[in-house]
Structure 1
C-alpha cells in the first residue's frame, strides 16, 4: 500500500496529487481506523485468481473491494476497486454500494466451470448504506476485465470503475434473519442456492434461487475466554456468544480431501433433537455371526452407517412380544424362531431386520445353529452358520415340494449369500444340511 499512495493535503510530499485523477492509488487521508492507527485498512478477506494472476482484497474501512495485480507487468498495481467511489473522489454517499463488507471472493469453490456464476465476485454486505434498518445483504457482481490489456473498464462519464451496480442481490424475506455488522460469509452453490452465514449470531442458512429457506443452523458453541464449549440444542445464545467467522460447503472432489476417508461424527450440540426429514439415513443391519453353546444360540448383529445408537428393541415374532432386558446388538435364544430387531440412532434414523434362527433339535455334540436374513427378502438371502457346522448343502422347495434352488458349498465360509431374484413371490421351505445336523425353515420372497 505504501508504494501506491496519493494525498492532496501536503504539497511538499512526493505523493501529492489530485486524488480523482489517480484512481489506481490510495488516498492516505481516507478511511477510518478501528481501535488503532495501524488498523487503517482492516483487510478481512483475500482471494487469488490464477487465470488473471490477480489478488482480491476486502477493505471494509473504505467500503471497497480491491483487485491488485500480482504476476503481470504491472505487479502490485491497484487494478480495480468497487463499492465506494468516494474513496477516490469520484462520488458521494449516494454512490456507495458497500458497507463494511466481508468474504469478497471469486465464485469458484463448489462451482463447475460451466456454471453461469463461475468467476463472478461474491460479497456479504454487512451494513447496507442509506438504510437505518439492521439487516445485511449478499450480492454477486461482474467486473469488466480485458484480459488482453490487463485492464478493468471505467465509466467514461463518471470516472468510476464498472459495473454500475450489482449483478444479483438478496436480502432475507424475514427481517433481521440475515444480519451481522461484522464477519460473515456468502457462497453460491452449484445448484444455484446461496449459503449465507450471519457471523455475529452464528446463524447459517441456505436459500433456493427463488428465496425459499432450505435449512438453517445455529452454531451451538458458547465462546468464553477464547474457548468454545457445546451447548444443548435450543439454548438461546446472545450475539457474539457463538461468533462464527464463515461457513463453507466443500465439494466431495475438493483436492484437499484426496486420500482422506470421511466418517460422519456425532452432532456438535448436546442433547440433539432428531429431525428425520433433514437426514440422509444409511443405517443398515446385518447378521455378523451365530454361535451355539450347550443350551442356546447367540446372535450378533452389526449396525452399519449409523451414529451412536439410541435404542435397540428385540421382538419375538411368534407372539409379537417384546423380549425384556434385550437392549444390545447381541441376542441369545434357546428356541428357533423369527426375531425382529429395531434400532434407532441418535440422529433419529431407524431400521429393522428380521433374523430367522434355526436350531437343529437332533441331539449332537455340536448342534447346528443357522441364522438367515432378511426374511422376507426381495431376492438376496444371507445365511450365517455356527463355526462347527462345516460344509453346507442348501436346498429350497416351493409349496408343491419341487426343488427350485440348490447350492453345495464345500469348503465354504460360515457366511453364505444367495441371489433368489429368479424365484416368484411366495413362501418357500429352505433346508440346510451339514455334517452336524439339518435345519429347516420357511422363507418368504416379496419383490
Structure 2
C-alpha cells in the first residue's frame, strides 16, 4: 500500500502535524500515521464552564512570528489571544514567601530572592576565570560563574519550570549554547551578553494562546489535512530496494521518504531491526514525568498580586509543588467571570515518585502547599489533573553524541529523516520551526 512518491510522516504530535502542513503547502503528497484517535500529543485543552484549561503547554512564546504565520495559514488569526502585561513579573518562593522578579538587571539588586552576599557574587562574574570548553551540566557551569545561592534560587526553579530537569544533569551546550560560547569567547557570560547585543528582530516577540486553548492549533491543522491522516500504530520500519517499508497495526506502506516525528522511545522500538545503533541511542534519551493540575477558585477571599505570571519553587525549599501559573492573570479572557484559575506543576526529573503515587493524595498535598503559599482559606470549585508519564525529553550532558547518531543514521539511510522535540527543542515554536526547516530542505 502507499504510493511510491508519497512521504510517510510518523507521529501526529505538533512536530508531525507541522511537518505535514508544510508538505501540504508545498504540494508534496504525504500520509500522516498517528496511533491515537486525536492528534496533538501532549497538547491537550478543554473548557469547563467558560474557563479554558491547558493540561500540556500553557502558552506559546512566538519569538520570530512563525506561530502567528501558521495561525494565519490555518484560519486561526482571529482566535489568537496575546498575554497580558502581567506576565512580566514572576515570583520565586524563598523561605515560604513569594518574592517578585522582573526581567531587568535592576531586579537582581532589589529582589529578596537572594542575599546581599549572593548579589556581590553575581557582580564578580566577569572576574571569574573561564572553564573548559567541554560539555558540562548547566548546574556546574552556572555555579562556577554566578555562585551556588544564585544557582539554587534563580536558575534551578526556572529550569525545573521549563524543562522539568535536573540542572546537574542537563547539558550547557544544549540548553545554554550562547552563554557557553560567550564564556569561551569573552571569558565572561555578562561581558559576552553585553558585547553580542541582541540583533534587532523584524518581528515583535509575543506570548500567546488561542481562545479555546493550545489544542485549537493542532485541531485546526488536523482538520485541514484530515484526508491524509491514518489512525494506525507504527510497529516497524525497514529498508527496501528503493526506499522504506513502514509496518502498522493495519498493514504495510512503502515510500521513498519517511519522516519520523515519533517520541524517541517509540521510534527506538520500531527501528530495532533496521538501525540498531540509532535504536540504542534513542532508548537512552530520558523523559521527565509531569503532573498538570488545573484548579479553579471563586475570587472571593483570594488576593492575587496585581500582576504576575505565577511562581516557581526552588528545590531547596523542600516543597513538592514545582510552581503555579496564574492563568486568570495572564489570559483573563479565558477564565470565566468571578473565578481564579491556576495551573499547578508537579513531578519532573527530581520527583519520579509522581509515576507511582496516588494522584488524589498528591493533589491534596500540593493544594495545601498552594493554599499556604498564597494564604487561601477557601476550597477550590474545580480540580482536575493529567499525568504525562513521559512529558519532556532531557538533554543530558553529552547529548552531542546522540545528535551525531541521528546525523549518521540519516546519512546511511538517504530519505529517512528524524524530527521531533528531542531533536528540534522542547517548545511548540521550536517544533514548528524545525518542521518548516526540514520541509524546505526536502524541497531543495
TM-score normalised by the chain length of structure 1: 0.18
More helix by share: 2
Bigger radius of gyration among the two: 1
Higher RCO (CA-CA < 8 Å; seq separation 6+): 2
More strand by share: 1
